[in-house]
C-alpha cells in the first residue's frame, strides 16, 4: 500500500531521516544521551506522554507538534539503544506496527464486513485472542497506568466480549449496590480499612462502566471536575485574602458561605 506523500510535511521523509541521524549522533557524542538506558528513560517517556495529553486538551496545534515531537524523541532513543545491541531498530518498530494494524483492520485491508466502531472493538478483541490464545485479553493493559484508566480499559475489553451490563440504568443499580456495601463497612463499630478500600474500589470501577454507557470518558470527566474545583478554590483563596483572614483560621460555616458565592460564577471547565 502506497503512502500518500502529499499528506506528509517532508514528502520523501527527509526530515524523519535527519531526525534519526541527529538522535544517532546524540547517542555517540552527548554525555547525557550516551549514558541513558531503556530503564533510565522510563520517567521521561511517561512525562512526555502526559505533556502531550495536556497539549491535546488545550487544542494547541503548535504545542501538540512540539510535545508529540518529544514523545517521538523517546521512541527514537529507545530504538537507537536497541539498535546498538542489535535487538530492534526504528524501522523495525514501524514495520511491526504497520503489520499489526493491517492484521487488526481486516475491513480495510481485507474483505471483513465491519460497519461501526463498536463492531471493530469486538473484532479487535477476537483477533487479539486468536493471535495470543494463551494470553488473557486484559494482560496487555499496563498496571502502571492510573487506576481509573486501568478500570476503564478493563471494562472496555470485557464489554468487547459481551461481558457487561445491558444499559446505563442497570449499571446505575450496581452503583447503588456498591455504595450500599461501602456504607455497611463504614457503619461497623470497628472499621476495617482494607475492606472499606475494596468496597470503594468496587464503587469506582462500576462508575467507570456507568461513564462508558453514558459515552463519557471517566478520566476526562474527573479531570474536568478537578479543574473546576481548582478554579473555584482559587477564588475562595482570593476572597479570604481580600478579607485579610487566613482560611485555616476560619470555620467550615464561613468557608461554605464564601464557597457558595464563588460557585455562582461559571468556571472555564464548565
* Structure confidence by residue, pLDDT tens digits, 93-135: 999 999 989 988 988 898 888 888 888 888 877 887 788 877 8
Instruction: Write down the pLDDT at residue 5.
Output: 46
| Percentage of residues in the chain having pLDDT higher than 70 | 96
Rounded Cα gap, residues 265 and 31, in angstroms = 52
For residues 25 and 115, give the distance between their C-alpha atoms in angstroms, rounded to a whole number. Answer: 47
The mean of the pLDDT values for the chain is: 90
Residues 269 and 22: their CA atoms lie apart, in Å, by 40
In this predicted model, what pLDDT tens digit does every residue of 218-244 receive, in sequence order? 988 998 999 999 999 999 999 999 989
The whole-number mean pLDDT for each consecutive block of 10 residues of the chain, a chain of 270 residues, reads 48 88 95 95 91 89 95 97 95 93 89 84 79 82 85 92 94 98 96 96 97 93 92 94 91 94 86
53's grid cell: 495529553
Query: How many CB atoms lie under 10 A from the CB of residue 223?
Result: 15
Amino acid at each position: 500500500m502506497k503512502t500518500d506523500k502529499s499528506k506528509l510535511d517532508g514528502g520523501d521523509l527527509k526530515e524523519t531521516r535527519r531526525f534519526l541521524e541527529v538522535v544517532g549522533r546524540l547517542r555517540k557524542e552527548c554525555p547525557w544521551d550516551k549514558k541513558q538506558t531503556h530503564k533510565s528513560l522510563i520517567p521521561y517517556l511517561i512525562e512526555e506522554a502526559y505533556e502531550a495529553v495536556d497539549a491535546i486538551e488545550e487544542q494547541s496545534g503548535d504545542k501538540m507538534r512540539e510535545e508529540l515531537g518529544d514523545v517521538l524523541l523517546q521512541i527514537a532513543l529507545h530504538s537507537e539503544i536497541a539498535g546498538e545491541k542489535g535487538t530492534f531498530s526504528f524501522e523495525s518498530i514501524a514495520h511491526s506496527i504497520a503489520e499489526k494494524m493491517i492484521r487488526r483492520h481486516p475491513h480495510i485491508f481485507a474483505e471483513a464486513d465491519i460497519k461501526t466502531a463498536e463492531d471493530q472493538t469486538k473484532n479487535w478483541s477476537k483477533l487479539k485472542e486468536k493471535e495470543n490464545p494463551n494470553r488473557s485479553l486484559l494482560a496487555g493493559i499496563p498496571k502502571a497506568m492510573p487506576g481509573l484508566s486501568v478500570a476503564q480499559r478493563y471494562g472496555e475489553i470485557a464489554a468487547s466480549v459481551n461481558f457487561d451490563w445491558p444499559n446505563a440504568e442497570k449499571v446505575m443499580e450496581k452503583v447503588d449496590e456498591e455504595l450500599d456495601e461501602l456504607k455497611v463497612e463504614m457503619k461497623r463499630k470497628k472499621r476495617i480499612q482494607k475492606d472499606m478500600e475494596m468496597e470503594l474500589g468496587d464503587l469506582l470501577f462500576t462508575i467507570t462502566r456507568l461513564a462508558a454507557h453514558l459515552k463519557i470518558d471517566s478520566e476526562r470527566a474527573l479531570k474536568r471536575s478537578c479543574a473546576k474545583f481548582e478554579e473555584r478554590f482559587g477564588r475562595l483563596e482570593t476572597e479570604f485574602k481580600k478579607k485579610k483572614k487566613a482560611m485555616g483560621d476560619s470555620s467550615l460555616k464561613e468557608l461554605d458561605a464564601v464557597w457558595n458565592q464563588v460557585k455562582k460564577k461559571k468556571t472555564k471547565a464548565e
